[in-house]
Amino acid sequence: MSSDAVVTVDALRVSRGRHEVLHGLGLSIPRGSLTGLLGPSGSGKSTLMRSIVGVQARVSGKVLVLGSPAGSRALRGRVGYVTQSASVYDDLTVRQNLAYFRAIMGAPRSDIDRALEQTGLEAEADRLVGSLSGGQRNRASLAAALLGQPELLVLDEPTVGLDPVLRNDLWAIFRELAAAGTTLIVSSHVMDEASRCDRLLLMRDGSLLSDLSPTELLASTGAADAEAAFLELIRKSDAA
């Protein structure tokens, strides 16, 4: 495992309700990388992300983030997290939401305008979040996570419900952030987003199927695109 790993997970098991939903995961995520977390609905993507940001209960195994156990006090504010459904206040304007989270983070005031610009929400800044479209709300939620320039960004399906143009813009932002040294973990259902990532984690039924770069994935399966490669991997694992 690289000493420059931002996230190190080893033998991670998580139980939710009556069932174990993650069955001994191990992975490591290098600094400044853009990692895609792909897998069918219910495969455990959100649970893994919640374990990394330290809000998931009933976790066993090791999850180290920036050198500290996940969820420890030292990490608060250094890890940005966007939950799967937009976690912003409906009855506040976008700007009021950002102003509140900024105050909690202790980030500079100028961060508010920067985050609005990065997410293309300047025109909506003074509208109540409750009156925005689904995609605009998701972006407001993302904007709040960009405050204070966290070292690690954990984004749970940030592009759901966005049109191709906006999706493209957001992935451009993710790439920019990664180029500037931020580490990103982005989950997605949309397989054509896979090619935008440095690395792909494919999950299925609470286990990791593969951990490869997009080119390695295509080469190892001989498939033409990520979706076909994923199906091929599932077929192989079922046969094994």
Ligand X SMILES: Nc1ncnc2c1ncn2[C@@H]1O[C@H](COP(=O)(O)OP(=O)(O)OP(=O)(O)O)[C@@H](O)[C@H]1O
**Closest separation between CB of residue 62 and another protein, Å?**
16
CB 46 within 8 A of CB 187: yes
Please give the span between the terminal C-alpha atoms of the chain, in angstroms, as a whole number: 27
d(CA 155, CA 183): 11
Applying CB under 8 A, the site for another protein has a residue count of 35
Compare residues 90 and 163 and give the one whose CB is closer to another protein: 90
Q: Is 45 in the site for ligand X (CB under 6 A)?
A: yes
**Closest separation between CB of residue 98 and ligand X, Å?**
26
Q: Is 39 in the site for ligand X (CB under 6 A)?
A: yes
In 3-state terms, what secondary structure has residue 210?
Answer: strand
Half-sphere exposure of 22 (CA within 13 A, CB side): 29
Q: Is 16 in the site for ligand X (CB under 6 A)?
A: yes
Cβ count within 10 A of residue 133: 11
Q: Which residues contact 133 (CB under 8 A, 6 or more apart)?
A: none
Residue range at the interface with ligand X (CB under 6 A); choices 36-44, 111-119, 120-128, 137-145 = 36-44
CA distances 79 to 52, 119, 127, 174, Å, are 9, 18, 27, 15
Residues 180-219 that bind Mg ion (CB under 5 A): none
157: left (phi over 0), alpha (psi -120 to 50) or beta: left
Q: Is 138 in the site for Mg ion (CB under 5 A)?
A: no
Applying CB under 6 A, the site for ligand X has a residue count of 12
Stretch 8-27: interaction string toward another protein, x if CB under 8 A: --------xx----------
Q: Is 43 in the site for ligand X (CB under 6 A)?
A: yes
Stretch 62-101: interaction string toward another protein, x if CB under 8 A: ---------x-x--xx-x-xxxxxxxxxxxx---x---xx
135: left (phi over 0), alpha (psi -120 to 50) or beta: alpha
Residues 162-181 that bind another protein (CB under 8 A): none
Q: Is 36 in the site for ligand X (CB under 6 A)?
A: no
Kind of pairing between the strands at 183-188 and 199-204: unpaired
In 3-state terms, what secondary structure has residue 128?
Answer: strand
Give contact residues for Mg ion (rule: CB under 5 A). Answer: 45-46, 84
Give contact residues for ligand X (rule: CB under 6 A). Answer: 16-17, 21, 39, 41-47, 84
Give contact residues for another protein (rule: CB under 8 A). Answer: 16-17, 53-59, 71, 73, 76-77, 79, 81-92, 96, 100-101, 103-106, 128, 144
